[in-house]
């Protein structure tokens, strides 16, 4: 398969469809950011659930993500292809855990997650370089989401 699949190829492969964030990862520019935008409607749905259910679903999405991202990378022959954005979905959902559904929290969480994901401060950068496979694709975004969540939590403590 070509390293850049078509939308038709995504539709034929549930693994690629999920890994490419329902097609959002096909964006020619900033697929990670576009993938994070695509995760917003699903976050809104998840945010309606009790926190325990939200966290369980996000944990399952992370575990499933290890498999689907790993398989997509193998199928494409490229480790952590830029179009694989399921990791952005999960990282964003982690950053947004327990936040109210407001424009302010959405903007704050989105920007913080993208900053941690793009600039990859340590240990995110180390994980991104040293860990491979589906776990490697997922772990840097999971940690970026946790880092964003920690900043959001501290900011909330300072404001309260």
What per-residue confidence (pLDDT) applies to 79?
85
What per-residue confidence (pLDDT) applies to 57?
98
Would 1 be classed as within a structural domain? no
What per-residue confidence (pLDDT) applies to 39?
98
Would 107 be classed as within a structural domain? yes
Would 74 be classed as within a structural domain? yes
What per-residue confidence (pLDDT) applies to 1?
54
Would 153 be classed as within a structural domain? yes
What per-residue confidence (pLDDT) applies to 54?
98
24-33: long-range contacts at Cβ-Cβ below 8 A with a sequence spacing of 24 or more?
Answer: 24/85, 25/82, 25/83, 25/84, 25/85, 26/83, 27/83, 31/82, 31/83, 31/85, 32/82, 32/85, 32/88, 32/114, 32/117, 32/118, 33/114
Domain extent for 85: 7-159
Dihedral angle computed from the Cα positions of residues 123, 133, 32 and 95, in that order, rounded to the nearest 10 degrees: -50
Reported pTM: 0.95
Would 2 be classed as within a structural domain? no
What per-residue confidence (pLDDT) applies to 156?
83
What per-residue confidence (pLDDT) applies to 81?
94
Mean pLDDT by 10 residues, the chain (160 residues): 83 97 97 98 98 98 98 92 97 96 95 97 95 96 97 82
């Amino acid at each position: 398969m070509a390293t850049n699949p078509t939308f038709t190829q995504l539709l034929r492969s549930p693994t690629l469809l999920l890994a490419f964030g329902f097609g959002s990862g096909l964006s020619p520019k900033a697929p990670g950011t576009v993938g994070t935008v695509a995760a917003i409607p699903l976050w809104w749905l998840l945010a309606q659930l009790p926190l325990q259910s939200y966290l369980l679903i996000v944990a399952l999405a992370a575990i499933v993500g290890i498999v689907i991202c790993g398989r997509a990378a193998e199928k494409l022959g490229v480790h952590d292809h830029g179009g694989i954005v399921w990791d952005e979905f999960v990282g964003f959902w982690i950053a947004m855990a327990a936040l109210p559904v407001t424009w302010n929290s959405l903007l704050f969480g989105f920007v913080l997650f993208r900053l941690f994901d793009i600039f990859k401060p340590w240990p995110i950068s180390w994980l991104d370089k040293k860990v491979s496979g589906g776990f490697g694709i997922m772990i840097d975004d999971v940690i970026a989401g946790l880092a964003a969540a920690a900043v959001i939590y501290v900011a909330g403590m300072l404001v309260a």
